Amino acid sequence: MDTMNLQNLGWDPWFAQQAALEQGPAVPARVTAVHKEIWLLKTEDQEFLGEASGRFLFNALSALDMPAVGDWVLARVSGPDSPALIEKVLARKSLLTRRTSGKKRDFQLIAANVDTAFIIQSLDGNFNLRRLERYLVMAAEAKIRPVALFSKCDLMPEAERLEKLAQAAALVPGLSAACFSNHTGEGLPAVREFLAPAQTYCLLGSSGVGKSSLLNSLAQEDMQKTLPVREADSKGRHVTTARELFVLPGGALMIDTPGMRELGNMGWDDGVAGVFSDIETLAARCRYADCSHTAEEGCAVLAAVAADGIPAGRYENYMKMRREFSYQDMTLYEKRVKDKKFGKMVKEVMKVKKGR
Ligand SMILES: Nc1nc2c(ncn2[C@@H]2O[C@H](COP(=O)(O)OP(=O)(O)OP(=O)(O)O)[C@@H](O)[C@H]2O)c(=O)[nH]1
Ligand SMILES: [Mg+2]
Ligand SMILES: [Zn+2]
Protein backbone atom coordinates (compact mmCIF):
# COMPACT_ATOMS: atom_id res chain seq x y z
CA MET A 1 0.00 0.00 0.00
CA ASP A 2 1.66 3.21 -1.10
CA THR A 3 0.57 5.88 1.33
CA MET A 4 3.48 8.32 1.11
CA ASN A 5 1.44 10.83 -0.81
CA LEU A 6 -1.43 10.78 1.69
CA GLN A 7 0.51 12.71 4.28
CA ASN A 8 -0.58 16.02 2.80
CA LEU A 9 -4.12 15.00 3.66
CA GLY A 10 -3.28 14.30 7.30
CA TRP A 11 -2.25 10.64 7.07
CA ASP A 12 0.18 9.76 9.86
CA PRO A 13 1.56 6.76 11.81
CA TRP A 14 -1.66 6.51 13.86
CA PHE A 15 -3.59 5.60 10.72
CA ALA A 16 -0.73 3.79 9.00
CA GLN A 17 -0.44 1.34 11.89
CA GLN A 18 -4.10 0.48 11.64
CA ALA A 19 -4.03 0.10 7.87
CA ALA A 20 -0.98 -2.16 8.13
CA LEU A 21 -3.08 -4.70 10.03
CA GLU A 22 -5.57 -4.97 7.19
CA GLN A 23 -5.30 -7.29 4.27
CA GLY A 24 -7.03 -7.03 0.95
CA PRO A 25 -7.33 -4.55 -1.87
CA ALA A 26 -9.02 -1.69 0.02
CA VAL A 27 -7.13 1.62 -0.12
CA PRO A 28 -7.11 4.47 2.41
CA ALA A 29 -8.94 7.69 1.54
CA ARG A 30 -10.11 10.72 3.46
CA VAL A 31 -13.79 11.68 3.61
CA THR A 32 -14.19 15.24 2.34
CA ALA A 33 -17.99 15.45 2.19
CA VAL A 34 -21.08 13.49 3.17
CA HIS A 35 -24.30 13.47 1.19
CA LYS A 36 -26.85 11.19 2.80
CA GLU A 37 -25.58 7.73 1.92
CA ILE A 38 -22.79 8.81 -0.41
CA TRP A 39 -19.36 9.89 0.72
CA LEU A 40 -16.87 11.97 -1.24
CA LEU A 41 -13.44 10.44 -0.82
CA LYS A 42 -10.04 11.87 -1.56
CA THR A 43 -6.57 10.53 -2.07
CA GLU A 44 -3.68 12.69 -3.09
CA ASP A 45 -4.38 12.46 -6.79
CA GLN A 46 -8.03 11.57 -7.11
CA GLU A 47 -11.50 12.17 -5.78
CA PHE A 48 -14.20 9.54 -5.97
CA LEU A 49 -17.56 8.59 -4.53
CA GLY A 50 -17.98 5.84 -2.01
CA GLU A 51 -20.85 3.99 -0.45
CA ALA A 52 -20.98 1.76 2.58
CA SER A 53 -20.44 -1.92 1.92
CA GLY A 54 -23.14 -4.32 3.11
CA ARG A 55 -20.85 -5.77 5.72
CA PHE A 56 -19.93 -2.33 6.97
CA LEU A 57 -23.59 -1.38 7.40
CA PHE A 58 -24.30 -4.69 9.11
CA ASN A 59 -21.59 -4.00 11.67
CA ALA A 60 -22.47 -0.34 12.25
CA LEU A 61 -24.32 -0.09 15.53
CA SER A 62 -25.03 3.62 15.70
CA ALA A 63 -24.58 6.93 13.94
CA LEU A 64 -21.16 7.13 15.59
CA ASP A 65 -19.93 4.25 13.43
CA MET A 66 -20.73 5.93 10.12
CA PRO A 67 -18.02 7.83 8.24
CA ALA A 68 -17.91 11.57 9.03
CA VAL A 69 -16.11 14.38 7.25
CA GLY A 70 -12.44 14.09 8.13
CA ASP A 71 -12.55 10.33 8.66
CA TRP A 72 -10.01 8.00 7.12
CA VAL A 73 -11.68 5.00 5.54
CA LEU A 74 -10.54 1.90 3.72
CA ALA A 75 -12.44 1.61 0.47
CA ARG A 76 -12.41 -0.93 -2.32
CA VAL A 77 -12.27 0.82 -5.68
CA SER A 78 -13.92 -1.18 -8.44
CA GLY A 79 -14.31 0.68 -11.72
CA PRO A 80 -14.46 4.26 -12.92
CA ASP A 81 -18.25 4.20 -13.13
CA SER A 82 -19.21 2.56 -9.88
CA PRO A 83 -18.74 3.98 -6.40
CA ALA A 84 -16.01 2.58 -4.18
CA LEU A 85 -17.13 0.38 -1.30
CA ILE A 86 -16.25 1.66 2.16
CA GLU A 87 -15.22 -1.30 4.26
CA LYS A 88 -13.86 0.30 7.39
CA VAL A 89 -13.49 3.59 9.25
CA LEU A 90 -10.05 3.78 10.86
CA ALA A 91 -10.03 4.62 14.57
CA ARG A 92 -10.30 8.37 15.02
CA LYS A 93 -7.87 10.67 16.76
CA SER A 94 -10.73 12.94 17.72
CA LEU A 95 -14.44 13.24 17.06
CA LEU A 96 -16.63 16.32 17.25
CA THR A 97 -20.22 15.42 18.03
CA ARG A 98 -23.31 16.93 19.46
CA ARG A 99 -26.10 15.07 21.14
CA THR A 100 -29.33 15.25 19.24
CA SER A 101 -32.34 16.32 21.21
CA GLY A 102 -34.66 13.59 19.88
CA LYS A 103 -36.03 10.73 21.90
CA LYS A 104 -33.07 8.47 21.38
CA ARG A 105 -29.82 9.20 23.09
CA ASP A 106 -28.12 9.71 19.79
CA PHE A 107 -25.24 11.71 18.45
CA GLN A 108 -24.78 13.79 15.37
CA LEU A 109 -21.33 13.64 13.86
CA ILE A 110 -19.76 16.97 13.05
CA ALA A 111 -16.22 16.07 12.02
CA ALA A 112 -13.53 13.51 12.70
CA ASN A 113 -9.77 13.79 13.16
CA VAL A 114 -9.84 17.53 13.73
CA ASP A 115 -6.73 18.95 15.40
CA THR A 116 -7.92 22.51 16.01
CA ALA A 117 -11.39 24.04 16.23
CA PHE A 118 -11.79 27.66 15.16
CA ILE A 119 -14.70 28.81 17.29
CA ILE A 120 -16.03 31.91 15.59
CA GLN A 121 -18.26 34.69 16.89
CA SER A 122 -18.86 37.95 15.09
CA LEU A 123 -18.44 41.20 16.97
CA ASP A 124 -21.71 42.62 15.59
CA GLY A 125 -24.10 41.04 18.06
CA ASN A 126 -23.09 37.40 18.05
CA PHE A 127 -20.47 37.90 20.77
CA ASN A 128 -21.57 35.89 23.79
CA LEU A 129 -19.30 34.46 26.46
CA ARG A 130 -21.86 31.86 27.55
CA ARG A 131 -22.11 30.52 24.01
CA LEU A 132 -18.34 30.54 23.75
CA GLU A 133 -18.16 28.45 26.92
CA ARG A 134 -20.48 25.89 25.32
CA TYR A 135 -18.28 25.60 22.26
CA LEU A 136 -15.20 25.34 24.45
CA VAL A 137 -16.84 22.47 26.30
CA MET A 138 -17.61 20.81 22.99
CA ALA A 139 -13.96 21.08 21.89
CA ALA A 140 -12.63 19.94 25.26
CA GLU A 141 -14.90 16.92 25.19
CA ALA A 142 -13.52 16.00 21.80
CA LYS A 143 -9.96 16.69 22.98
CA ILE A 144 -9.42 19.29 20.29
CA ARG A 145 -7.40 22.46 20.70
CA PRO A 146 -9.75 25.47 20.63
CA VAL A 147 -8.95 28.86 19.10
CA ALA A 148 -11.49 31.63 19.71
CA LEU A 149 -11.81 33.92 16.69
CA PHE A 150 -13.85 37.11 16.52
CA SER A 151 -14.91 38.20 13.05
CA LYS A 152 -16.19 41.48 11.62
CA CYS A 153 -13.79 43.52 13.74
CA ASP A 154 -14.24 46.23 11.09
CA LEU A 155 -17.62 46.87 12.75
CA MET A 156 -16.24 47.56 16.20
CA PRO A 157 -13.93 50.26 17.61
CA GLU A 158 -10.53 49.00 18.65
CA ALA A 159 -10.96 49.63 22.39
CA GLU A 160 -14.14 47.53 22.49
CA ARG A 161 -12.53 44.73 20.49
CA LEU A 162 -9.64 44.48 22.89
CA GLU A 163 -12.01 44.47 25.85
CA LYS A 164 -14.01 41.58 24.34
CA LEU A 165 -10.86 39.69 23.44
CA ALA A 166 -9.65 40.00 27.03
CA GLN A 167 -12.99 38.75 28.37
CA ALA A 168 -12.83 35.73 26.09
CA ALA A 169 -9.22 34.92 26.89
CA ALA A 170 -10.07 35.03 30.61
CA LEU A 171 -12.57 32.15 30.30
CA VAL A 172 -9.94 29.44 30.13
CA PRO A 173 -6.28 29.91 31.05
CA GLY A 174 -4.10 29.87 27.96
CA LEU A 175 -6.95 30.14 25.45
CA SER A 176 -5.76 31.48 22.09
CA ALA A 177 -7.96 34.29 20.81
CA ALA A 178 -7.79 36.79 17.94
CA CYS A 179 -9.94 39.28 16.02
CA PHE A 180 -10.08 39.57 12.27
CA SER A 181 -12.04 41.02 9.39
CA ASN A 182 -12.78 39.31 6.11
CA HIS A 183 -13.62 42.68 4.62
CA THR A 184 -10.53 44.72 5.49
CA GLY A 185 -8.16 41.78 5.86
CA GLU A 186 -7.11 43.01 9.28
CA GLY A 187 -6.02 40.20 11.59
CA LEU A 188 -5.90 37.59 8.84
CA PRO A 189 -2.12 37.17 9.12
CA ALA A 190 -2.63 36.34 12.81
CA VAL A 191 -5.24 33.73 11.88
CA ARG A 192 -2.81 32.26 9.33
CA GLU A 193 -0.28 31.85 12.13
CA PHE A 194 -2.50 29.15 13.60
CA LEU A 195 -2.39 27.14 10.37
CA ALA A 196 0.10 24.39 9.58
CA PRO A 197 0.23 22.05 6.58
CA ALA A 198 -1.54 18.69 6.88
CA GLN A 199 -3.23 19.74 10.12
CA THR A 200 -7.02 19.63 10.20
CA TYR A 201 -9.11 22.61 11.29
CA CYS A 202 -12.85 22.95 11.76
CA LEU A 203 -14.88 26.15 11.55
CA LEU A 204 -17.58 26.31 14.22
CA GLY A 205 -20.09 29.02 15.11
CA SER A 206 -23.53 30.46 14.48
CA SER A 207 -24.85 31.06 11.00
CA GLY A 208 -23.72 34.36 9.51
CA VAL A 209 -20.59 34.90 11.60
CA GLY A 210 -18.37 34.56 8.52
CA LYS A 211 -17.07 31.00 8.63
CA SER A 212 -17.25 30.44 4.87
CA SER A 213 -15.99 33.98 4.30
CA LEU A 214 -12.93 33.14 6.41
CA LEU A 215 -12.35 29.99 4.39
CA ASN A 216 -12.49 32.10 1.23
CA SER A 217 -10.17 34.73 2.72
CA LEU A 218 -7.62 32.10 3.69
CA ALA A 219 -7.91 30.38 0.32
CA GLN A 220 -7.77 33.72 -1.49
CA GLU A 221 -10.53 32.48 -3.75
CA ASP A 222 -14.21 31.71 -3.41
CA MET A 223 -14.42 28.10 -2.37
CA GLN A 224 -17.71 28.48 -0.56
CA LYS A 225 -20.83 30.54 -1.12
CA THR A 226 -21.64 33.27 1.43
CA LEU A 227 -24.70 35.48 1.94
CA PRO A 228 -25.43 38.69 3.89
CA VAL A 229 -27.05 38.32 7.31
CA ARG A 230 -30.60 39.57 7.94
CA GLU A 231 -30.41 43.27 8.65
CA ALA A 232 -33.10 43.29 11.32
CA ASP A 233 -31.33 41.01 13.80
CA SER A 234 -27.98 40.22 12.16
CA LYS A 235 -28.92 36.51 12.10
CA GLY A 236 -27.38 34.37 9.38
CA ARG A 237 -29.35 32.58 6.68
CA HIS A 238 -27.87 29.12 7.01
CA VAL A 239 -26.08 29.38 3.69
CA THR A 240 -23.73 26.46 4.19
CA THR A 241 -25.76 23.27 4.40
CA ALA A 242 -23.17 20.51 4.49
CA ARG A 243 -19.84 19.90 6.13
CA GLU A 244 -16.95 19.81 3.72
CA LEU A 245 -13.18 19.56 3.88
CA PHE A 246 -11.01 21.87 1.77
CA VAL A 247 -7.28 21.96 1.14
CA LEU A 248 -5.95 25.49 1.59
CA PRO A 249 -3.09 26.80 -0.56
CA GLY A 250 -0.61 26.56 2.36
CA GLY A 251 -1.53 22.91 2.89
CA ALA A 252 -3.82 23.27 5.93
CA LEU A 253 -7.01 21.21 5.81
CA MET A 254 -10.14 23.18 6.68
CA ILE A 255 -13.62 21.83 7.38
CA ASP A 256 -16.44 24.33 6.87
CA THR A 257 -19.67 23.52 8.71
CA PRO A 258 -23.23 24.86 8.65
CA GLY A 259 -23.99 27.33 11.43
CA MET A 260 -25.50 25.63 14.43
CA ARG A 261 -28.95 26.66 15.54
CA GLU A 262 -28.33 25.86 19.14
CA LEU A 263 -25.83 24.02 21.16
CA GLY A 264 -27.67 22.20 23.85
CA ASN A 265 -27.20 18.68 24.96
CA MET A 266 -23.64 18.62 26.11
CA GLY A 267 -21.77 15.86 27.80
CA TRP A 268 -20.29 16.50 31.21
CA ASP A 269 -17.06 14.67 31.83
CA ASP A 270 -13.87 16.21 30.57
CA GLY A 271 -15.57 18.98 28.66
CA VAL A 272 -17.40 20.86 31.37
CA ALA A 273 -14.87 19.96 34.02
CA GLY A 274 -12.11 21.52 31.93
CA VAL A 275 -13.89 24.72 30.99
CA PHE A 276 -15.41 25.28 34.43
CA SER A 277 -12.42 24.04 36.40
CA ASP A 278 -12.64 27.08 38.70
CA ILE A 279 -16.17 26.13 39.77
CA GLU A 280 -15.41 22.42 39.94
CA THR A 281 -12.42 23.10 42.18
CA LEU A 282 -14.57 25.17 44.52
CA ALA A 283 -17.31 22.53 44.46
CA ALA A 284 -14.88 20.07 46.00
CA ARG A 285 -14.80 22.34 49.04
CA CYS A 286 -18.56 22.49 49.62
CA ARG A 287 -19.61 21.14 53.03
CA TYR A 288 -21.78 18.40 51.53
CA ALA A 289 -20.39 16.04 48.94
CA ASP A 290 -23.70 16.03 47.05
CA CYS A 291 -24.10 19.81 47.26
CA SER A 292 -26.36 21.13 44.49
CA HIS A 293 -24.83 24.64 44.81
CA THR A 294 -28.29 26.19 44.96
CA ALA A 295 -29.12 26.77 48.63
CA GLU A 296 -26.94 24.65 50.89
CA GLU A 297 -25.10 25.93 53.94
CA GLY A 298 -21.36 25.89 53.45
CA CYS A 299 -21.57 25.93 49.66
CA ALA A 300 -18.21 27.19 48.43
CA VAL A 301 -19.58 27.92 44.95
CA LEU A 302 -22.39 30.18 46.19
CA ALA A 303 -19.94 31.89 48.52
CA ALA A 304 -17.65 32.66 45.59
CA VAL A 305 -20.54 33.99 43.50
CA ALA A 306 -21.62 36.21 46.40
CA ALA A 307 -18.08 37.50 46.79
CA ASP A 308 -17.83 38.17 43.03
CA GLY A 309 -15.13 35.54 42.71
CA ILE A 310 -17.23 33.92 39.99
CA PRO A 311 -19.35 36.04 37.63
CA ALA A 312 -23.08 35.35 38.08
CA GLY A 313 -23.52 34.66 34.35
CA ARG A 314 -20.81 32.04 34.44
CA TYR A 315 -22.38 30.37 37.49
CA GLU A 316 -25.80 30.33 35.79
CA ASN A 317 -24.39 28.82 32.63
CA TYR A 318 -22.62 26.16 34.68
CA MET A 319 -25.83 25.28 36.49
CA LYS A 320 -27.79 25.21 33.25
CA MET A 321 -25.35 22.80 31.65
CA ARG A 322 -25.47 20.65 34.77
CA ARG A 323 -29.24 20.42 34.57
CA GLU A 324 -29.19 19.65 30.87
CA PHE A 325 -26.59 17.04 31.38
CA SER A 326 -28.37 15.21 34.15
CA TYR A 327 -31.55 15.12 32.05
CA GLN A 328 -29.67 14.01 28.93
CA ASP A 329 -27.98 11.28 30.81
CA MET A 330 -31.13 9.71 32.15
CA THR A 331 -32.30 6.64 30.33
CA LEU A 332 -35.41 6.94 28.26
CA TYR A 333 -37.25 5.00 30.94
CA GLU A 334 -36.17 7.39 33.67
CA LYS A 335 -37.29 10.32 31.55
CA ARG A 336 -40.72 8.80 31.01
CA VAL A 337 -41.12 8.24 34.72
CA LYS A 338 -40.04 11.76 35.43
CA ASP A 339 -42.34 13.22 32.79
CA LYS A 340 -45.22 11.08 34.05
CA LYS A 341 -44.57 12.14 37.61
CA PHE A 342 -44.49 15.71 36.48
CA GLY A 343 -47.75 15.30 34.56
CA LYS A 344 -49.36 13.71 37.59
CA MET A 345 -48.13 16.48 39.81
CA VAL A 346 -49.56 19.10 37.50
CA LYS A 347 -52.91 17.29 37.50
CA GLU A 348 -52.98 17.10 41.27
CA VAL A 349 -52.12 20.73 41.70
CA MET A 350 -54.92 21.63 39.30
CA LYS A 351 -57.35 19.44 41.25
CA VAL A 352 -56.44 21.09 44.53
CA LYS A 353 -56.89 24.50 42.96
CA LYS A 354 -60.29 23.59 41.54
CA GLY A 355 -61.42 22.04 44.80
CA ARG A 356 -60.78 25.22 46.73
N1 LIG B 1 -18.44 43.46 8.05
C2 LIG B 1 -18.06 42.20 7.91
N3 LIG B 1 -18.89 41.31 7.32
C4 LIG B 1 -18.47 40.04 7.17
C5 LIG B 1 -17.20 39.61 7.63
N6 LIG B 1 -17.08 38.28 7.39
C7 LIG B 1 -18.21 37.91 6.78
N8 LIG B 1 -19.06 38.96 6.64
C9 LIG B 1 -20.37 38.93 6.02
O10 LIG B 1 -21.26 38.14 6.81
C11 LIG B 1 -22.17 37.46 5.97
C12 LIG B 1 -22.22 35.99 6.35
O13 LIG B 1 -20.98 35.37 6.04
P14 LIG B 1 -20.81 33.81 5.77
O15 LIG B 1 -19.37 33.58 5.54
O16 LIG B 1 -21.77 33.34 4.75
O17 LIG B 1 -21.26 33.21 7.19
P18 LIG B 1 -21.24 31.68 7.66
O19 LIG B 1 -20.73 31.69 9.05
O20 LIG B 1 -20.53 30.82 6.68
O21 LIG B 1 -22.80 31.33 7.69
P22 LIG B 1 -23.53 29.90 7.48
O23 LIG B 1 -22.93 29.25 6.29
O24 LIG B 1 -24.96 30.27 7.30
O25 LIG B 1 -23.30 29.13 8.74
C26 LIG B 1 -21.72 37.73 4.53
O27 LIG B 1 -22.54 38.75 4.01
C28 LIG B 1 -20.32 38.22 4.69
O29 LIG B 1 -19.93 39.13 3.67
C30 LIG B 1 -16.33 40.58 8.24
O31 LIG B 1 -15.21 40.29 8.68
N32 LIG B 1 -16.82 41.85 8.34
MG1 LIG C 1 -21.09 29.19 5.60
ZN1 LIG D 1 -21.97 23.80 46.69
Q: Which residues contact 218 (CB under 8 A, 6 or more apart)?
A: 188, 191, 192, 195, 248, 252, 254
CA distances in angstroms from 306 to 85, 205, 311, listed in the order given: 60, 32, 9
Higher pLDDT, 208 or 78: 208
**CA nearest ligand 1 atom 11, residue:** 228
Separation CA 255–CA 28 (nearest Å): 19
Antiparallel, parallel or unpaired: β 253-256 and 200-204: parallel
- Best probe residue, ligand 1, of 213, 214, 217, 229 (max atoms within 8 Å of C-beta): 213
Residue 279 sits at φ, ψ, to 5 deg, of -70, -40
Question: 164 alpha carbon to ligand 3 midpoint, in Å?
Answer: 30
The predicted pLDDT at position 264 comes to: 46
The predicted pLDDT at position 270 comes to: 54
By the 8 A CB rule, do 214 and 185 touch?
Answer: no
Question: 225 alpha carbon to ligand 1 midpoint, in Å?
Answer: 10
CA distances in angstroms from 189 to 195, 259, 282, listed in the order given: 10, 24, 39
Ligand 1 pocket residue status of 213, Cβ below 6 Å? yes
Ligand 1 pocket residue status of 121, Cβ below 6 Å? no
Residue 195's identity, in one-letter code, is: L
DSSP conformation class of 256: E
Question: 275 alpha carbon to ligand 3 midpoint, in Å?
Answer: 18
Separation CA 109–CA 97 (nearest Å): 5
Residues of each domain in the chain carrying CATH 3.40.50.300: 96-256
Atom of ligand 1 nearest to the CA of 236: 24
The predicted pLDDT at position 308 comes to: 87
Ligand 1 pocket residue status of 187, Cβ below 6 Å? no
pTM for the full model?
A: 0.78
The predicted pLDDT at position 101 comes to: 57
CB count within 10 Å of CB 139 equals: 27
Indicate which ligand has the atom closest to the C-alpha of 279.
3
Tell me which CATH code domain 96-256 carries. 3.40.50.300
The predicted pLDDT at position 331 comes to: 45
- Best probe residue, ligand 1, of 161, 182, 231, 261 (max atoms within 8 Å of C-beta): 182
pLDDT in tens, 46-101: 888 999 999 999 888 888 899 999 999 999 988 777 889 999 999 999 999 876 65
The predicted pLDDT at position 332 comes to: 46
**CA nearest ligand 1 atom 7, residue:** 210
DSSP secondary structure of 147-163: EEEEE-GGGS-HHHHHH
pLDDT in tens, 288-299: 877 889 888 999
Question: 250 alpha carbon to ligand 3 midpoint, in Å?
Answer: 49
Tell me which CATH code domain 276-343 carries. 1.10.40
Q: Residue ranges of the alpha helices (H) in 123-276?
A: 129-141, 158-169, 188-193, 211-219, 269-275
Question: 171 alpha carbon to ligand 2 midpoint, in Å?
Answer: 26
In the chain the beta strands, taken as DSSP E runs, fall at 27-35, 38-42, 47-52, 72-76, 84-89, 95-99, 107-112, 116-122, 145-151, 176-179, 200-204, 244-247, 253-256
> In the predicted model, is pLDDT for residue 111 greater than 60?
yes
DSSP secondary structure of 313-341: HHHHHHHHHHHHHHHHTS-HHHHHHHHHH
The predicted pLDDT at position 287 comes to: 87
**CA nearest ligand 1 atom 12, residue:** 208
The predicted pLDDT at position 18 comes to: 95
Average pLDDT of the chain to the nearest whole number: 84
Lowest mean pLDDT across 59-73, 109-123, 273-287, 334-348:
334-348
Nearest Cα residue to 29 out of 45, 222, 276: 45
Tell me which CATH code domain 4-92 carries. 2.40.50.140
Question: 285 alpha carbon to ligand 3 midpoint, in Å?
Answer: 8
Ligand 1 pocket residue status of 263, Cβ below 6 Å? no
**CA nearest ligand 1 atom 26, residue:** 228
Question: 293 alpha carbon to ligand 3 midpoint, in Å?
Answer: 4
**CA nearest ligand 1 atom 32, residue:** 152
Question: 285 alpha carbon to ligand 2 midpoint, in Å?
Answer: 44
The predicted pLDDT at position 336 comes to: 52
By the 8 A CB rule, do 208 and 122 touch?
Answer: yes
Residues of each domain in the chain carrying CATH 2.40.50.140: 4-92
Indicate which ligand has the atom closest to the C-alpha of 118.
1
Q: What percent of the chain has pLDDT over 70?
A: 83
- Res. 350 pLDDT band, cuts 50 70 90: low
Lowest mean pLDDT across 13-17, 264-268, 280-284:
264-268
Residues of each domain in the chain carrying CATH 1.10.40: 276-343
